[in-house]
Amino acid sequence: MSGLDNGSEPTILVCYGSSEGQTATVARRMRTALENEGHRVTLVDAAAHPADLEVGSFDGVIVGASIHGGSHQRPVTEFVRTNVDVLNRAPSAFFSVSLTAARETPAQRAPARGYIEEFLETTGWDPDATLVVAGALKYSQYGRLKRLLMRFLAGRSSGDTDTSRDYEYTDWEDVESFAREFATLLEPPTGSTG
Ligand SMILES: Cc1cc2nc3c(=O)[nH]c(=O)nc-3n(C[C@H](O)[C@H](O)[C@H](O)COP(=O)(O)O)c2cc1C
């Protein structure tokens, strides 16, 4: 872990997987929130990260993925499995984006937390913080079959079936405060002098 050793601001890696772009937007929003607090952030797509990315060189790592057919993106699972030892040593956090998280009642939303628990169990990762994020229905990005499927599912849940528009359920304040809260894990303990 490098940034704190030489007295400079902490460095944070934000690595995400995203199929229709919402998780990428969440990751970018976290980057902005962290940069506004003076942190240095590297943002990478798990499906296309540089081969020489040194996860252990960051002071903290945030990983995010979205749910499709009940699972998070495979490249994110692989990224976490490959780097699990570093992630378990460093301050780390995981967020999971889904439509289950946008459901109306706590009982309906409960499986969204189950997705996180399953992911952590299969990867062996024990992050310091986790966040369930309500995603988006992006009819404009779906092909014909996917649009029909998502409209059908929406008809049985949110009722947001107008395929001429997109629907976004993400709580951006929650996203930003999660990132800021994570950053406090990286700060030197109060009373330590430089
Ligand atoms: C084909 C498809 C399958 C999905 N499956 C699930 C699912 O099983 N559970 C769920 O909660 N959300 C599901 N979603 C909703 C996505 O998690 C949600 O749209 C999220 O915002 C996608 O994020 P992304 O744009 O970063 O990929 C699905 C979406 C699509 C398009």
> In this predicted model, what pLDDT tens digit does every residue of 55-111 receive, in sequence order?
999 999 999 999 999 999 999 999 999 999 999 999 999 999 999 999 999 999 999
- Ligand 1 centroid–CA 190 distance in Å is 41
The whole-angstrom separation of Cα 15 and Cα 17 is 7
- Ligand 1 centroid–CA 36 distance in Å is 29
The whole-angstrom separation of Cα 166 and Cα 37 is 31
Considering the domain architecture, whether residues 156 and 120 belong to the same structural domain is answered as: no
- Ligand 1 centroid–CA 135 distance in Å is 7
CB 44 within 8 A of CB 72: no
User: 27: domain range?
Assistant: 11-135+170-184
Q: Which atom from ligand 1 is nearest to the alpha carbon of 21?
A: 25
CA nearest ligand 1 atom 28, residue: 68
CB 154 within 8 A of CB 138: no
Considering the domain architecture, whether residues 37 and 111 belong to the same structural domain is answered as: yes
In total, how many domains does the chain have? 2
Q: Which atom from ligand 1 is nearest to the alpha carbon of 71?
A: 8
More confident residue, 187 or 91: 91
